[in-house]
Structure 1
Amino acid sequence: MFVATFSLPAQGFALGHTLDAAPEMTVSAERVAAHGTVQVMSCLWVTGGDFDAFDAALAADPTVERVIETESFDDETYYQVEWGDGVGDFVDALIDSEGSVLNAKAHDGTWDLRIRFASREQLQMFQAYLSRHDHPFQLRNLFEPRFPRQERDQLTAAQRDALAMAVEQGYYRIPRDVTLEELADSLGISRQAASERLRRGIDQLVTSVLLEPESG
């Protein structure tokens, strides 16, 4: 299993017109596997500056067939879109190479896509598609996870619970709102077990997200 992070210009891929019109906006796609054009990257969370400019540009964006749903919250807006043929071709290539999108974010005219491939051959197949269709790209990271079974969710359930509770209760604030002992009590485990769970969880996140054991 390999996890690759690609950077691609939005122009020629997705939302190029929209991001040109509203360059301060950040678009994050919900993590979805590549099963079809309708599902892949169709749910977008947008934050940033001028939502009116973003909405107007999105309505005229040639890479978007239609906006299916939109809902605004305090500082972000949710969009569900149906992609046009150009993005569909890209998704078809991803499906053919059996890749799964783990993370996708666009800002300042560039998409960063984090994609999991089952083999190096599938990764190379996808790279060949990009080159063949003149998609300029940069392979920023490439690594083989140390814990393949955990890669999909990054953490064990116990590690996720511990880290989430630590953040919610203010353990990582300065100064801390709770002590390690209080956090351990909330989790129903010993102080040592809580410390070890947090340490292993952070180690797994940093290893999977930031480190580059193998680059290309």
Structure 2
Amino acid sequence: MPNTTEHWNKIFAAKADPELGWYEGDASQTLRFLEGIPHLESATVFLPGAGTSVLVDELLNRCHQLVLNDISDAALNKLKDRIQDNGKVVWLYHDMSKPLPKDCPLADLWIDRAVLHFLLEEPEIEGYFDNLRAVIKDGGFVLLAEFSPDGAPRCAGLDLHRYSAEEMAYRLGSQFTLIRQERFNYISPFGDQRPYIYALFQRRNSD
């Protein structure tokens, strides 16, 4: 099988956004989870697996700074061509299972709807959560939207690690408190139902 970057670059190069199996023209499900987060207008938001999501456009109008990460440079290049970042974006082409660059900005909010469930090996998953804990500030928030235990076992031709809110909480660790969780049935552009778990956590202050 090609390496992960090759796999995703082929998909993003071959298809227009509405043809992608995970395309979502309306980001309201995610935005509803952000309504109670204070001072969003001054927040730095980290999006692992930003892809070409319309969520980016919404967040540009709501937040101070975005860190947009993807393992696909083809996806990031398409996104760069589409948005006007006005200096608000830090672009990060990086494998989220590997340690982040030392100059990576700290974040008030982490939103993942696209990366965690594709990591299958324990060292990859542990590396991901190490990065998350290194980046999120005290009092910051984490929104994880992952394939639920009864969801599809594969996506985009790849196997998935499906999550419950309990497993998310366990892997985040005792520093994080579950604020809210919700099951969500995503309907793909082809009419398929894909059950997700959305879970919002907050990091407690270290003092």
Q: Into which bin does the TM-score normalised by the smaller protein fall?
A: 0.3 to 0.5
Output the TM-score relative to the length of structure 1: 0.31
Rg larger for: 1
- Greater helix fraction, Structure 1 or Structure 2: 1
Bigger RCO (CA 8 Å, 6+ sep):
1
